[in-house]
Amino acid sequence: MTLALAPAGLLAASVQHSLVRLSGVDIAVIAIYFGIVIYIGFYLKGSSNTSEEFFMAGREMTAWIAGLSFVSANLGSLELMGWAGSAYQYGILATHWYWIGAIPAMLFLGIVMMPFYYISRTHSVPGYLHLRYGDGTRALSAICFALMTVLMSGINMFAMAVVMKVVLGWNLSFSIWVSSITVAIYVALGGLRSAIFNEVLQFLLIWLGALLIPILGLVECGGWTNLKHQIATRLGTTDYTHLWSTTAHFKDNPMGIHWTGIVFGLGIVISFGYWTTDFLVVQRVLSAHNLRAARMSPIIGAAFKMCVPFIVILPGLLALSVLPVHLVPANVAAATGQHSYNEVLPLMLVRYCGPGLLGLGVTALIAGFMSGMAGNVSAFATVWTYDIYGAFLNRKASDSHYVAMGRWCTFIGVLISVGTAYIVQHAASIMDYVQALFSFFIAPLFGTVILGMLWKRATKAGGFWGLLAGTCTAIGLWVWVHFNPAALRYVALSPDAKVMAEDMYRALWSWLVCVIVTVVVSLMTQPRPESELEGLVYGATKLPEEHDDHWYQKPIVWASVIAVVFIGLNIIFW
């Protein structure tokens, strides 16, 4: 059965194209979940009266709570819908975004960068840039980040609406508004504390519900070895089940990418940019109750992150073997009524889950989308209030006024996100859209932050002009290829490159431009005295001592364990 994407009235939750009908048990499971998240918001409202409580959860979170929230804030549609679809489209190569595209950067954040974020007591990454570079860089980064968060939040709204449409036949607009209103209520009431507690709940629900598909799918296929054989037989190639061996040439793998793009564009620039400078995830770590907890949080998160491909990538690979229909890009599906890559997960959910289990599975997907949406909305509220409104529009307001502003701009951010949700429909896939945004905003930001943190000579002018040049480079390269597809051979270094490869190399070039411009301008301008860089730059800062009672409590020990497992997994799936 094919599904149409035709618009309808906002409140018309028609079920004319539903694949299944929910039982009473399924409806009860979903209703209970929505009731719990709203209740958490009301329950925590009394603990979110000051700006420190509302925006930073009072900096009271343990390493485990902050670590699970750190992963869960990213475990939205980008993970569940986007990469399941990308695994169907590109095969096991999509796993790179979980391993080389996450683990090294998360460990680097915990071991190297977290001390500076934490001891500076900043409320945001733009706040750190203000301390290091001044108001100009802070304003530019805050505006870029605020724009990115509402665009990313729209992805989660759209993805949830797709699930409701595919599984239940609900109208897209109705689903978008139900999810957005729910998130707006509990984030506006309880602030970051409410978002974090809901994210931990959502993390558990996601694993409980999403595990059904890979387990039942592997049983049907007869195990991993048989699954690889079935995919190779059906597609006529083994390229979809190799992680590294097909990346020596652009044309040898489904993604049309070279290993240099994966290692440098993804592994160094986008990965480190996202996990170390994207305030959406860094904000969760900053809520930790002490420095050791702040350093352990991303390390704990890295351990769970390595396991996520089992519930995200594997369903996409299973779909290549068991789904009777052929999936197409989202823009093609919108015109033809076929199923798109983005619908892999809900289609697999319908295949394996009966009454009761279906309600649990749908709840797990809803939890993931709302988690990602809440993460973006709470980060947007903090950056807008502290780094735009409080920094430039109203510097002398009371603390209660800033809390009220945070609550109101939560609703405003959600409304803007609703508009951006409809933009996603025009992208070939969710991940194409996401990776383009990362190359625009995250890649150059990482260049600015890492130079400021590691190089005392970086100046205010260098930071501002480097960030601006890097951002403009990324956007300019995208426009060039968009209007002249032949330019792809220059941006991605090969005419055989595909969209994802273009995103990786665009990020790499924007980062290089940012670094080069920052260095050149800094060498031409006057640096700040070293005395002003205390707490902001390596070599000018005395790091606080951490008193661990035993060797196995040290963050570096657990980071080393995670690194060894990471290397082993890449060798096993080579």
Q: pLDDT tens digit string along 442-456?
A: 888 888 988 888 888
Residue 17 within any structural domain of the chain: no
Phi then psi for residue 324, to 5 deg, are -80, -15
User: Which pLDDT score is estimated for 421?
Assistant: 73
- Determine, yes or no, domain membership for 407: yes
Looking at the DSSP bridge assignments, the partners of residue 566 are: none
Question: Tokens standing for 135?
Answer: 């108001």
Whether 14 shows a pLDDT value over 70: the answer reads no
Share of the chain above pLDDT 70, in %: 76
Instruction: Output the pLDDT for position 49.
Output: 56
Supply the DSSP symbol for 544: P
- Return d(Cα 165, Cα 18) in angstroms, integer: 7
Lowest mean pLDDT among 121-125, 186-190, 378-382: 186-190
What digits encode the pLDDT tens for the residues 85-101? 888 888 888 888 888 88
Q: Is residue 6 part of a domain?
A: no
The residue among 287 and 529 whose pLDDT is bigger is: 529
- Tell me whether residue 115 is in a domain: yes
Residue 14 maps to a domain: no
Per-residue model confidence as pLDDT tens digits over 152-204: 777 777 777 766 776 666 777 777 777 677 767 766 665 556 666 666 777 77
Asked, for residue 4, whether it belongs to a domain, the answer is: no
Query: Is 5 contained in some domain?
Result: no
Identify the domain containing residue 344 by its residue range: 24-572
Contact 210, 342 (CB under 8 A): no
The yes-or-no verdict on residue 131 having pLDDT over 80 is: yes
**pLDDT confidence tier of residue 523, bands split at 50, 70 and 90:** very high
When pLDDT is averaged across residues 478-484 and rounded to a whole number, the result is: 88
pLDDT > 90 in the chain, percent? 7
| 22/556 Cα distance (integer angstroms) | 48
User: What pLDDT is recorded for position 13?
Assistant: 33
Res. 573 pLDDT band, cuts 50 70 90: confident
Q: How far is CA 169 from CA 85, 209, 358, 430, in A?
A: 20, 21, 15, 20
Task: Report the pLDDT averaged over residues 275-296.
Answer: 74
Residues 6+ apart with CB under 8 A from 569: 99, 306
Question: Per-residue pLDDT for 402 more than 70?
Answer: yes
Range with the lowest mean pLDDT among 4-8, 111-115, 228-232, 502-506? Answer: 4-8
Q: Which of 112-126, 286-300, 301-315, 417-431 has the highest mean pLDDT?
A: 301-315
With contact defined as beta carbons under 8 Å apart, do 293 and 63 qualify?
A: yes
CB-based burial of residue 529 (10 Å sphere; 0-12 exposed, 13-18 middle, 19+ buried)? Answer: exposed
Q: Report pLDDT digits (tens) over 60-71.
A: 677 777 777 777
The count of domains in the chain is: 1
* Most confident by average pLDDT, 50-59, 114-123, 258-267, 419-428: 258-267
pLDDT of residue 467: 92
219-273 residue pLDDT tens:
888 888 888 888 888 877 777 888 888 888 888 788 788 888 888 888 888 888 8
Alpha-carbon distance of 297 to 61, in angstroms, equals: 10
Q: What is the pLDDT of residues 345-359, one digit of tens each?
A: 777 877 777 666 777
Specify the pTM: 0.74
Average pLDDT over residues 510-533: 90
pLDDT interval class at 472 (50, 70, 90):
very high
d(CA 558, CA 534): 29
Structure confidence by residue, pLDDT tens digits, 410-432? 777 777 777 777 776 666 566 66
Q: Tell me the average pLDDT of the chain.
A: 76
Q: What is the CATH number of the domain that holds 167?
A: 1.20.1730.10
Inform me whether the pLDDT recorded for 524 exceeds 90. yes
